[in-house]
Structure 1
């Protein structure tokens, strides 16, 4: 606790000094404006920049049902430190599980032309069971990640990884990783394979991912990319048994596409399709959920929380797991209400659908769940940016998984949208 107080004071004081320098440094107005603009851009990406390294703000403060308050700091070197080498690390502490988690990593550039990097990392942390991460995903930062508040199903992992990033072109990115992981669920779980029950296990995995953005446009002399749609992401994962002590053979294929059409400053629509299949001896930790965001409480008000960006708001946590699934989300953003120059709330119409199935559910012991083979549907709306970035969300669950109690099908929540 004392160490974190000292660290917080250090970050806070550094922030004050750096911000004050932005205000008081006697630059010409244009130079000063560019400097402040770059600072705000870095801040919007979740970094507080200093001369040779940037503080990673993603780790400052979080909350979930297992760790309680999770706080820490991350550091990443920048181009002023080196354009050929980089170091990135973080350390966090959970006040409910009383445990430090951390990651130490770094990389070096093999080719400037193709932006090819070889990276090494050692991570001792938690991951949400049933979640999937794409290697090629760009860094994503939110001031507030609402879905994290209610997650309680995590597994510990100690992972050593070697990763190769490579740009086949400005519109086609690739990433390949080989990793060794020790997995230890934080909940009572047993994975039964031919009479042998694994409560924790080792994995040796290879992942290869591609992100294709054929409609992105190159802008400016620095070749910044302007997002174009649709975008496509593909990832293949292979786990090897008896390779570096790996316990299971399984494979996973994951796919995602996002399409937007219309004017983002006026009225537009967004469609997101995510699909995955796992085959072989796949433990629950590496199966799929559909990103549920509803807590198991009796009344609507007790379930009142904050809606996620792409989660199923009426689906209860740990209600469904699948080894094959597809979700489709459709959002239609209406033209913002032009109440004043600064106050422009916006309504969004939303429909979500998920379908999936699972083979051999009896292998997963000490945990109960359903499959999605009947198809899950919810629809609703959001009214965003009503006050200080907060809005309201209403969603209704219907179709094959409609619940007998009417109120159990309703999710009424806050929304939160802030950007720099």
Structure 2
């Protein structure tokens, strides 16, 4: 979700009678200093991305001087002069010349931080207080400072001919400045109530409005710009977690220096500068911690990351003497564009960077994205501590009240901390008008559906996955399919598809309908008829949402399918907290489309009937969810995740031929490291009891074709498939598989070639009871185990990659080259 907010830079715009302007620079290098704080007797301001600032005041008599401060620099006072309207302020670095003061052979700053860490639980409101609640007002804008933008219409020589010089006019910056002079690019407000009790924190959104959208983007409302608490061991900025400067192991990652002491709320605080030890500024935080000299609580904090984006977040606290506690009352968050050698492609556009300037190349012309910033301000108030708190639906991290989208203006006037200025007022009025004229809400919903694999056409969403595919049995599979959308009905849907295989020459399809029976739990009751083909022995978790892929490479080489004609009724719900589940009754006629017969009670079955009941459930115990008026959203995916499925045949009901039970289980785990690497684990198992044909057993996803040489076997790799296991080589009625993946950071080989290195190991064990029942296919069992390991080099060039796997262990093949699988990989980067 973080890419919803990627373009933004910082400034502040005020309307006043008098104004002076200026720029803040480093006295040594002469480079501008963004985010410098300019303080006057009436408040403070911040310099923009170019170090420029503006000061507005009501009359000349109320303004005599201003102070400029910047992280790691000496504060400078500048006197106002009537004749001067532009000030260049040079700041002198101070951290490089600080002398360390020793106390008992320990650096003073380290001693303070050590004590701060030791007393965290005594100062953390979520540890010290049994309960609390407060209200919060948040305003987020995306904008730019018009004074930083040249309104000049540029001219560029396109070509010279005998007839004259052809010139192209570029009015991009002129139009952009004209726009941001009147209004912000985006704006949203939110009023929430936070409640904490029984070690659970919940946010209830009381009111929200988003410029240009009657129904807000809930993903933006749930976006975690910065950590709720400064005491978290992993501090989060822009949905990226960094080791906190007051984590237990923080000394491994940070250097500290004592800068000064300062009074906050009448109590003295140490002012400690911290900076990550890594060479890359983007690998860790830097900033300032203000530590209470008596309680060693954090009284103010400034966190910053400088990399692709220049990101800063701050926390301000109020002291409550009754509990000897500092509580957060104000948070701010800002993003501007940073420096990098590579441009960023997103949503079909490009953000450019100035990295090539260091190579003595001509600096590029600045684009509007260079000036854009994001700014979020949050104010906490009505803070109540150690009271009786009743938290309804506490399993939701965020819940949006039904009437939160329709608040009157009086509601906002009551909660806003600052009066709406002219630009903010015009942002709502103009964006609402533009939204209607350009159908912005429709286009936003259109984009969200495209990401999920659907193309909306009036009241019908076309399923892009059904249009084209290929496999060895059907050949080219061409079709159409989809589902009716909310424009037809929010409480009823019809879905289906129709397809034709050019190789088997058969039409197939599905048609179903469902009705919503509970809005809050998103519960549906439905029925469907299907006549189609499936891969034999494939494991199918009904509850899992299949991610949209333009292509799915693995089925290309599959030849063994079975035809199934089924009627099913189902009930799907999210009634149980943090779960999704489906209960299904299914009657299916199965016909294998390959040479196979199942021996049961001395009879060979080449076609059979199955009537089953199935329960499929996915549980995400550690994830956070948001309840919206339109349904539930998983706002923070955490691991592990568990998927369970139980299938039971229903005796002699509806001409059922076999009696059996199937238990399927899967768990996934991911760990993202602060250095950008990621480890993924997958464990999956299945156990089938009774008499089950091969079509419904397990094959553990093989993905290697039977060809003579390694080169002939080159094909596309799958996601979690065994790349060195041949199709139809192993079958089981009980199995367990384990997969380990570790993804390193992308490695720069050349300027445009930066592959992603992934190490992979897979292993599986299994067995098959009564293999003599399965006639027609030659296969083996997994009782000795199967092992393979490999290296993936993904995104070597334009998304194309290469992977190599090697098969070893008890099922290693005699010829060395037969144990090697070389696969292609492709990552399509849509910029999301």
After TM superposition, the score normalised by the length of structure 1 is 0.90
SS across alignment from 2:556: helix
Distance 2:745 2:531 in 1: 45
1:64 aligns with 2:467: no
Paired position in structure 2 for 1:140: 547
Distance 1:170 1:35, change over 3 A: farther
Cα distance, 1:169 vs structure 2: 3.5
Distance 2:454 2:675 in 1: 26
Cα distance, 1:73 vs structure 2: 1.1
Q: How does 1:5-44 map to 2 (within 5 A)?
A: 27=434, 36-44=443-451
1:230 aligns with 2:640: yes
Distance 1:135 1:374 in 2: 30
Cα distance, 1:167 vs structure 2: 1.0
Paired position in structure 2 for 1:251: 661
Deviations 1:343-396 (A, max 9, x none): 642111000000000010000001111000101000001111122321001000
Paired position in structure 2 for 1:48: 455
Q: How does 1:92-171 map to 2 (within 5 A)?
A: 92-171=499-578
Deviates more, 1:295-304 or 1:381-390: 381-390
> Are the aligned partners of 2:746 and 2:757 in contact in 1 as well (CA < 8 Å)?
yes
Equivalent of 1:336 in 738, 746, 751: 746
> Are the aligned partners of 2:435 and 2:441 in contact in 1 as well (CA < 8 Å)?
no
Deviations 1:223-277 (A, max 9, x none): 5213211100000001133210000001100000000001499210100111000
Cα distance, 1:32 vs structure 2: 6.8
> Are the aligned partners of 1:239 and 1:249 in contact in 2 as well (CA < 8 Å)?
yes
In structure 1, list runs of 5 or more residues that go unmatched.
1-25
1:217 aligns with 2:627: no
Distance 2:588 2:451 in 1: 32
Q: How does 1:370-385 map to 2 (within 5 A)?
A: 370-385=780-795
> Are the aligned partners of 2:735 and 2:764 in contact in 1 as well (CA < 8 Å)?
yes
Paired position in structure 1 for 2:709: 299
Distance 1:230 1:106 in 2: 33
SS across alignment from 2:818: helix
> Are the aligned partners of 2:660 and 2:692 in contact in 1 as well (CA < 8 Å)?
yes
Distance 1:229 1:419, change over 3 A: farther
Deviates more, 1:257-266 or 1:393-402: 257-266
1:417 aligns with 2:827: yes
> Are the aligned partners of 1:158 and 1:181 in contact in 2 as well (CA < 8 Å)?
yes
Q: How does 1:175-186 map to 2 (within 5 A)?
A: 175-186=582-593
How big is the alpha-carbon RMSD for the aligned residues of Structure 1 and Structure 2?
Answer: 2.1
Distance 1:250 1:35, change over 3 A: same
Distance 1:245 1:275 in 2: 30
Paired position in structure 2 for 1:349: 759
Cα distance, 1:37 vs structure 2: 4.7
> Are the aligned partners of 2:591 and 2:606 in contact in 1 as well (CA < 8 Å)?
yes
SS across alignment from 1:168: coil
1:202 aligns with 2:609: yes
Distance 1:162 1:372 in 2: 35
Distance 1:264 1:50, change over 3 A: farther
Deviations 1:382-419 (A, max 9, x none): 11112232100100000001100000000001012225
SS across alignment from 2:653: coil
SS across alignment from 1:244: helix
Distance 1:419 1:89, change over 3 A: farther
Distance 1:349 1:29 in 2: 50
Deviates more, 1:27-36 or 1:306-315: 27-36
Distance 1:168 1:341, change over 3 A: farther
Distance 1:31 1:266, change over 3 A: farther
Larger radius of gyration: 2
SS across alignment from 1:382: strand
Paired position in structure 1 for 2:672: 262
Distance 1:178 1:329 in 2: 32
> Are the aligned partners of 2:523 and 2:575 in contact in 1 as well (CA < 8 Å)?
no
Distance 2:675 2:544 in 1: 25
Paired position in structure 1 for 2:694: 284
1:173 aligns with 2:583: no
> Are the aligned partners of 1:382 and 1:394 in contact in 2 as well (CA < 8 Å)?
yes
Deviations 1:277-320 (A, max 9, x none): 00100100110001000000000000010000110000000000
Distance 2:674 2:587 in 1: 42
Distance 1:340 1:87, change over 3 A: farther
Count of matched residue positions in the alignment of Structure 1 and Structure 2: 395
Distance 2:469 2:712 in 1: 21
Paired position in structure 2 for 1:388: 798
Distance 1:168 1:77 in 2: 24
Distance 1:128 1:264, change over 3 A: farther
Distance 2:675 2:708 in 1: 40
Deviates more, 1:51-60 or 1:162-171: 162-171
Distance 1:338 1:291, change over 3 A: same
Deviations 1:79-111 (A, max 9, x none): 121111001010010000000110001100111
Distance 1:337 1:49, change over 3 A: farther
Deviates more, 1:256-265 or 1:89-98: 256-265
Cα distance, 1:113 vs structure 2: 1.7
After TM superposition, the score normalised by the length of structure 2 is 0.46
> Are the aligned partners of 1:266 and 1:336 in contact in 2 as well (CA < 8 Å)?
no
Paired position in structure 2 for 1:313: 723
> Are the aligned partners of 1:44 and 1:419 in contact in 2 as well (CA < 8 Å)?
no
Paired position in structure 1 for 2:262: none
Distance 1:219 1:112, change over 3 A: closer
Paired position in structure 2 for 1:73: 480
